[in-house]
């Protein structure tokens, strides 16, 4: 079973062909192909290759499934006895992608 560890959006993700995952927002519409070139580690099932810091020539291709917003997070600031209370909501954007192919170069 092949897999790779990629870096995107300041985070690292373990990806496998056929799997889908949610990552921070990327530009593009549903059905658009994206390519991740920052492959930190890769395995073809028998051999494991680690990059220093990335594998040269390695890439992961994926397809955007959908764009969306995550669950709402409520930010509530409060100081007792000071008549201070602030409530703010936030929904972080995400892109859901399906991994098509892992090429270790």
- Mean pLDDT for the stretch of residues 21-33: 95
DSSP 53: S
- Mean pLDDT for the stretch of residues 53-70: 95
Q: Is the pLDDT of residue 26 over 90?
A: yes
The whole-number pLDDT of residue 18 equals 95
The kind and range of the H/E element at 20 are: strand 20-24
The whole-number pLDDT of residue 20 equals 96
Q: Is the pLDDT of residue 65 over 80?
A: yes
Query: What global pTM score does this model have?
Result: 0.84
> For residue 1, what pLDDT band results from cuts at 50, 70 and 90?
confident
CB of 63 closer than 8 Å to CB of 31: yes
């Amino acid at each position: 079973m092949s897999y790779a560890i990629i870096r995107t959006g300041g985070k690292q993700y373990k990806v496998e062909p056929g799997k889908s995952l949610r990552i921070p927002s990327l530009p593009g519409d549903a059905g658009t192909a994206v390519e991740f070139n920052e492959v930190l580690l890769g395995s073809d099932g028998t051999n494991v290759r680690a990059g220093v810091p990335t594998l040269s020539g390695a890439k992961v291709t994926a397809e955007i499934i959908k764009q969306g917003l995550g669950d709402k997070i409520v930010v509530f600031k409060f100081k007792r006895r000071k008549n201070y209370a602030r409530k703010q909501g936030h929904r972080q954007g995400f892109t859901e992608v399906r991994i098509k192919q892992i090429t270790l170069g």
